[in-house]
Amino acid sequence: MGLLDKTNPAATPASVRRAALLGAVLFAVMYAGFAACVTCWGDGAPSWSVGGAIAWTAFGSFIIGLMEWQPPDINSVGDVVPYCETEFAISLDPARFGPIEEVSVNDLYQELLHAMRSQHPDQQANEAEVWTRLRALIVDRLGVDEDEVTPQARFMYELA
Tell me the C-alpha distance between 138 and 46, whole Å.
54
**Does an H or E element contain 131, and which?**
helix 127-142
Which pLDDT does position 44 carry in this prediction? Answer: 59
Per-residue pLDDT of the chain (160 residues; tens, 9 = 90+): 445 444 566 677 788 889 999 999 999 999 888 888 777 776 655 567 788 889 989 999 999 888 887 755 545 566 788 888 888 889 888 777 776 667 888 988 998 998 999 888 888 878 999 999 999 998 888 888 899 899 998 887 777 6
Least Cα distance to 8 among 55, 61, 75, 53 occurs for 75
What residues contact 22, with CB distance under 8 A and at least 6 apart?
64
Which pLDDT does position 123 carry in this prediction? Answer: 84
Which pLDDT does position 141 carry in this prediction? Answer: 82
Which pLDDT does position 76 carry in this prediction? Answer: 59
Which pLDDT does position 1 carry in this prediction? Answer: 43
- The half-sphere exposure of 78 on its side-chain side, counting CA atoms within 13 A, is 8
Which pLDDT does position 6 carry in this prediction? Answer: 46
Tell me the C-alpha distance between 45 and 40, whole Å.
10
Which pLDDT does position 5 carry in this prediction? Answer: 46
